[in-house]
Structure 1
Amino acid sequence: MTVKLGLGLPQMKQYDLGRDVPAVARAAEETGYDSLWVFERILFPTPATQGLFGIEGLPWPDQYRSVADPLVTLALAAGATERARLGTSVLVAPLHVPFQLARSLATLDAAAGGRVVLGVGTGWSKDEYAAASLVPFARRGRALDELIDVCRAVWGPDPVSYEGEFTRIAPAEVGPKPARPIPVYLPANSPRAARRLVDRADGWMPGATGVEALASAWAGLRELAAERGRERAIAVTVRANARYSAKPVDEAERAPFQGSVEQIVADLVAHAGVGVDEILIDLQGTMRDASELVDVAAEVHAGVRGAGV
């Protein structure tokens, strides 16, 4: 089976959002990309109270200094496309009021004709929590659970009602409804997160850290699903953050998805061999502008399909 290919939309400071998001979305759909994706970073702390991903001493990349709102970006892409699915990879659950996010996603899905995919996680930045979350950092897992519950309640039949730790919805009609049930994808970076995914989600959204690591994690997740009696298949969309360069990078020194188009294509083909459903390639960070992003994305797509994947 041919693996689906997704593309990260331009959200960073080198892009003219009103012009470039619709243009890139349209071009990607015409090229043949199956889906378009956004991510969430709400600020760039100076100085940061913790390193990137919470790792001591790991600096935040400069490209995070300005990242456009993910739902506004998806709305721009929705208006410029007809077929491609529109996904978040990922939203940080505790930075959102669950009821309001559920309504925004339902509205976007209704307007786009049933194309939204919700990738959502707990986040890791204490600076972002301090700025935007009403939930304590220590309760971020519970906040994610409640957001999923509230979304499914709001997207379901009226009257909607819910009583949780952070949210209370008195019986009410809530519309518009999504065009179809919006699938929920989760990361699984810990045993507890893996159990949440198996029990509650439609799909898994891992980062691309290498073929062996992906294969091992996917095998473990399938074993856990069998242990917990899950019968439905788990869809898998791998997120690959690429660092493109016009010239090849020394193979002995490069990380996965770093290098020339040919090297990035080789990594995509190798990761597809693990048996995943889709790979999201985010090229925007190292592009000069939208024109280069469109051109390189087209070369990557042609390379992968030319390899028979």
Structure 2
Amino acid sequence: MKVRIGIGTVPEAAPEPGAGLAELVEELEARRIDSIWLSDLVSAEHNTDPLIGLAYAAGRTQRLKLGTGVLVLPGRNPALVAAQLAGLAGLAPGRVLPAFGVRPALAADRTMFPVPDGRRAEVFEEALVVVRALLTEPTVTHHGEFFHLDDASVAPLPAKPLDLWLGGRAPVGMRRLGRLADGWLGSLVTPDEAADCRAQIERAAADAGREIEADHYGTNLAVAPDGCDESELAKALAQTHRRRADLDPERLVCRGWAAAREELRRFTDAGLTKFVIRPAVPVRSRRDFLDQFATELLPLQT
């Protein structure tokens, strides 16, 4: 199985306005790093909408893969999402890696993706069905509880169907993934939890008469580079704890590159092969961080 290691956004401690994404994608392309993954953080400072950012990255690169990590689907029009993905796949054939989530990561974004009260999961599942149908069929007629389409289509259809990955870690999400998706991109999980999530997904897929490809399991991993600002790291650990209060945040953030290497090995032993590395704190130099990443982690790819 192919182990592949990509990069999320790499914020600098003193960012130059407007230069971050351009520099990042060009540096990734030059280093032949596998992929970039942009998060859906509407209200975050210096953030770019993932689909806009990936279209921009597609125009500046030739081989870099382009992932959404993850795009919030409920609250968006799934037909427009499908059209955007089809357009992006036309610009960058074979390079688009869509991954979807149920709810925004930031509390400030919760009202920006409106759905009927208590129905977010149901909207998500139907929206995912609509996105897949539009990306694989010439015309789609769909009359569900939340979405209605008559002879709808998007163009151009991808030459090869896009694999649709999902995030999440709750058991209900793992069952959904087994029934409806093609891969899993986790976050804020330990290697043992990741192994359990994979087992849940495999059981759900088997129950649905499906099979998820063996190398379609991955996760995000936060790395605090050696010598990083301890006050910034304390903030990152506190934020991680808010999102996973049941777990010591030190278990979810790698202190240094040696710890990151060991954690990646534990994840691969757990059956994961796709990874998105994100700095846990703003870095002093984006280029230095990527140089360290290429030296320390890329040799673990197969």
> Given the alignment of the two structures, is residue 264 of structure 1 paired with residue 270 of structure 2, yes or no?
no
> Given the alignment of the two structures, is residue 212 of structure 1 paired with residue 175 of structure 2, yes or no?
no
Q: Write the distance in 2 (CA, Å) between the matches of 1:116 and 1:307.
A: 23
Q: Report the count of equivalent residues.
A: 283
Q: How far apart are 1:270 and its partner, in Å?
A: 2.7
Change (3 A) 1:106 1:231: same
Contact 2:3–2:301 under 8 Å retained in 1: no
Q: Write the distance in 2 (CA, Å) between the matches of 1:225 and 1:240.
A: 25
Change (3 A) 1:155 1:24: same
- Matched with 2:225 is 244
**Secondary structure at the residue paired with 2:151?**
strand
Change (3 A) 1:38 1:152: same
Change (3 A) 1:231 1:212: closer
- Matched with 2:79 is 99
- Matched with 1:51 is none
- Of 267-276 and 121-130, the range deviating more from structure 2: 121-130
- Of 224-233 and 182-191, the range deviating more from structure 2: 224-233
Long gaps (5+) in structure 2: 231-247
* Structure 1 segment 1-309 matched on structure 2, within 5 A: 1-10=1-10, 15-16=15-16, 18-43=18-43, 64-123=44-103, 127-130=108-111, 132-234=112-214, 235-246=216-227, 254-283=250-279, 285-288=281-284, 292-306=285-299
Which deviations, in whole Å up to 9, do the C-alpha atoms of 1:7-32 show, x marking residues without a partner?
Answer: 01347895457433132112213323
Change (3 A) 1:141 1:307: closer
Change (3 A) 1:227 1:162: closer
- How many percent of aligned residue pairs carry the same amino acid? 27
Change (3 A) 1:71 1:15: farther
Contact 2:11–2:282 under 8 Å retained in 1: no
- Matched with 2:239 is none
One-letter code of the match for 1:41? L
Q: Write the distance in 2 (CA, Å) between the matches of 1:68 and 1:118.
A: 16
Q: How far apart are 1:259 and its partner, in Å?
A: 2.0
Contact 1:89–1:120 under 8 Å retained in 2: yes
Q: How far apart are 1:176 and its partner, in Å?
A: 2.6
**Secondary structure at the residue paired with 2:69?**
strand
Q: Write the distance in 2 (CA, Å) between the matches of 1:278 and 1:67.
A: 24
One-letter code of the match for 2:52? V
- Of 218-227 and 7-16, the range deviating more from structure 2: 7-16
Contact 1:6–1:281 under 8 Å retained in 2: yes
- Matched with 2:233 is none
Change (3 A) 1:248 1:66: closer
**Secondary structure at the residue paired with 1:138?**
coil
- Matched with 1:60 is none
Change (3 A) 1:137 1:10: farther
Long gaps (5+) in structure 1: 44-63
**Secondary structure at the residue paired with 1:95?**
coil
TM-score relative to the length of structure 1: 0.80
Contact 2:12–2:286 under 8 Å retained in 1: no
One-letter code of the match for 1:302? T
Q: Write the distance in 1 (CA, Å) between the matches of 2:31 and 2:4.
A: 13
Q: How far apart are 1:178 and its partner, in Å?
A: 2.6
